[in-house]
Amino acid sequence: MNSSLISVLPDLNLLLAPPINYIFAGVCGAIIGSFLNVVIHRLPHEESIVFPNSRCPSCEAVIAFYDNVPVLSYVLLGGRCRGCKQRISPRYPAVELLTALLFIAVAWRDGITPALPFDLVFVSALVALVFIDAEHMILPNAITYPGIAFAVIARLALPYLMGQPHFEDLPSLMAGVLNGLPRWAASLGGAVLGALIGGGSLWLMGWTWEKLRGIEAMGLGDVKMMFMVGAYLGWRLTVLTIFLAVLSGSLTGILLMLKQRERNMQMLLPFGVFLGTASIAALLIGSRIVEWYAGQFR
């Protein structure tokens, strides 16, 4: 029985696992974070992600491999390009550090299980989406479409790799509507239901807002992103994700309006930032929040 809010955190004893695992997860995260920087910088401009080599945005000098070490190079170079001494955006080390910390958190939650690489891919895609949306107010199809396909593949593979229903929504679904179906069909059914609830509610929110205000409030990017999140996390964690995103998005919107002393309701926030952040929170501690919430009514 979970009755205290502390119980939403992953098991603290797991942190005593060999620290080398967490160091390894952190280093992998920083390297992937460095790659995500390239994705975040180049995808919105439709540049190739693989070629050419990274260049300084100011002087266009090719960045040497020893100046491209995640986080470390930024610190050693004092946040400036070796050639032209122009400031390097702190977003680069921030994304690397954040990805490293998220990889450690996911490794803490999952342990060394078949779910770990899937969850790491999911979190990486969300980090890229959050930072691209924050800067350009778009959620590129180049991430959301493969993301949806990836979520479906994970749903089909993980129950077999894990040897048990891995996803939060399955036990309740299999006891009810999906009773008697083979494992893969139940898992796929859970993915479709989650995607419909995730993408559908975002589409409905945009449609309602458009009817009320006569302006387009929500792009289809949010809908596609929530297809991916819903398929991957299942309906329970998707409902939690949307709740957390609407809550944090509204609070941020109100704070910004108060700060700017401007009651402009047409101000647009990149909602994908809140949805992405909430999705990562739901993956990490969502099932424990749902359990804790349900426990209040027992």
Kindly identify the residues of this chain, within the stretch 69-98, that bind Zn ion according to CB under 5 A. Answer: 81, 83-84
Give the DSSP per-residue string, 253-267.
HHHHHHHHT---TT-
Per CB under 5 A, the list member of 9, 14, 49, 59 interacting with Zn ion is 59
User: In the complex, what is the shortest distance from the CB of residue 58 to Zn ion, in angstroms, rounded to a whole number?
Assistant: 4
Find the DSSP H helices in the chain. 19-42, 72-76, 91-110, 115-136, 141-162, 170-175, 183-213, 220-260, 271-281, 287-295
Per CB under 5 A, the list member of 38, 56, 71, 181 interacting with Zn ion is 56
Per CB under 5 A, the list member of 58, 113, 172, 248 interacting with Zn ion is 58
Residue 54 interacts with Zn ion (CB under 5 A)?
no
User: In the complex, what is the shortest distance from the CB of residue 64 to Zn ion, in angstroms, rounded to a whole number?
Assistant: 12
Q: Binding segment for Zn ion among 52-60, 105-113, 185-193, 241-249 (CB under 5 A)?
A: 52-60
289: Cα separation from own chain's centroid: 18
- The answer to whether 223 and 206 are in contact (CB under 8 A) is yes
User: In the complex, what is the shortest distance from the CB of residue 79 to Zn ion, in angstroms, rounded to a whole number?
Assistant: 12
Copy the structure tokens of residue 128: 């890229």
What's the first-to-final CA gap in the chain, in angstroms? 9
- The answer to whether 186 and 178 are in contact (CB under 8 A) is yes
Residue 15 interacts with Zn ion (CB under 5 A)?
no
User: In the complex, what is the shortest distance from the CB of residue 57 to Zn ion, in angstroms, rounded to a whole number?
Assistant: 8
Copy the structure tokens of residue 115: 């779910």
Q: Binding segment for Zn ion among 15-23, 56-64, 124-132, 154-162 (CB under 5 A)?
A: 56-64
Copy the structure tokens of residue 9: 């955190």
Which residues contribute to the site for Zn ion (CB under 5 A)? 56, 58-59, 81, 83-84
